[in-house]
């Protein structure tokens, strides 16, 4: 469904950071297959194979991610073993220690939900509104990455990805500043009549940079901790 040129590392880093920001035990991105009827794993971060195998082939409109895609809105399963709407994926929970999750749809510019970004937890869990809104920002950027695969076309993405990749908290403030400047410059170029930009993706990238900056001690503990 997507170009072979999709920057998988860029998207994988978004999925990873989405999970870390929500303090989840794992995170995933599932995308539609060519038929548009099923979702398949695109990126899996820190989830046991037993869980992924147990949920099996997932039809749109079932389980958690698939309901988020079908309804084009966030979907929460606070306890996979007791939620009757998750019965099709119960084997995954039973075969692993994953017990809860929440998903937000990844929506392309034509309004079609093409995938689902999810966070997974080992205990019963319900996300906050902030968790959901944050993941919706990640989902916007993931949609941008799937639709516009070449990061070289927009230098802001290279700067933004450097923040996603960096694991040293001491190096992040400088990288965040550079990424923010790159994004603001891209917005200014677009508004002044230059090459049009994906303003929604740029705005969500700024939100994520602010989130990372405000939560540096939580997301990137110092080496002495």
> Residues near 192 by Cβ (< 8 Å), separated by ≥ 6?
none
Convert the pLDDT of each residue in 176-211 to its tens digit: 999 999 999 999 988 888 778 889 999 999 999 999
pLDDT 10s digits, 75-110: 999 999 998 878 877 888 888 999 999 999 999 999
CATH entry 3.40.50.280 includes domain 8-147: no
* Residue (of 141, 38, 120, 15) closest to 75 by Cα position: 120
Q: What angle do CA 192, 153, 117 make, to 5 degrees?
A: 100
Q: What is the pTM of this model?
A: 0.89
- State the Cα–Cα distance between residues 85 and 104, nearest whole angstrom: 17
Domain boundaries, the chain: 8-147, 151-219
């Amino acid at each position: 469904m997507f170009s072979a040129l999709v920057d998988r590392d860029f998207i994988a880093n978004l999925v990873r950071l989405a999970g870390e920001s929500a303090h989840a035990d794992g995170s995933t991105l599932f995308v539609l297959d060519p038929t548009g009827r099923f979702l398949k794993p695109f990126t899996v971060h820190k989830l046991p194979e037993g869980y992924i195998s147990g949920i099996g082939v997932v039809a749109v409109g079932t389980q958690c991610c698939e309901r988020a895609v079908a309804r084009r809105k966030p979907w929460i399963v606070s306890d996979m073993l007791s939620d009757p709407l998750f019965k099709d994926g119960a084997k995954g929970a039973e075969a692993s220690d994953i017990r809860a999750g929440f998903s937000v749809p990844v929506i392309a510019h034509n309004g079609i939900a093409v995938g689902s970004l999810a966070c997974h937890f080992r205990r019963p869990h319900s996300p906050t509104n902030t968790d959901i809104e944050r993941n919706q920002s990640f989902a916007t950027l993931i949609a941008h990455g799937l639709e516009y695969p070449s990061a070289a076309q927009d230098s802001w993405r290279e700067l933004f990805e450097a923040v996603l990749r960096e694991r040293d908290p001491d190096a992040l403030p400088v990288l965040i500043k550079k990424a923010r400047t790159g994004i603001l410059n891209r917005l200014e170029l677009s508004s002044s009549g230059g090459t049009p930009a994906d303003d929604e993706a740029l705005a969500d990238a700024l939100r994520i940079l602010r989130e990372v900056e405000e939560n540096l001690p939580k997301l990137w503990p110092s080496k002495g901790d």
